[in-house]
Amino acid sequence: MMETLHPPVNAAPDTAPAFLDFTARAAAKVASLIAEQGNPQLKLRLYVSGGGCAGFQYGFSFDDQVADDDMQIVTDGVTLLIDAMSQQYLPGARVDYEDSLEGSRFVIQNPNAQSSCGCGSSFSV
């Protein structure tokens, strides 16, 4: 598993956010979803927005555009994008994929979250 971190284009190295772990299992699932879409330029975007039952919620979308202030994390050739506003909530987090009896989903383990809801898609800081 090879992971590389690319800080925002205009950020000084000492102000780049802490590393976020984008696991090989999550990258493999994203790669298969991108293959289904037939657009190899797609990247997975992770973002945090207000809302959800705990105050903030995680969201995912595919994007073929990279903003100047996006953080890019590459695992096994798959890119995870995180916008500048969301970066502050995610240092040290882990993005994984699980396939269990309860269903298949991306899972975020976030050490910055003081509490989260039962579904794991929203949190508070």
Q: Residues annotated in the binding site, as ranges?
A: 53, 117, 119
- In the annotated binding site for iron-sulfur cluster, the residues are 53, 117, 119
| 3-class DSSP state of 49 | strand
Give strand pairing partners of 123.
56, 116
Distance CA(11)–CA(80), nearest Å, equals: 18
> Tokens in use for 116?
């989260």
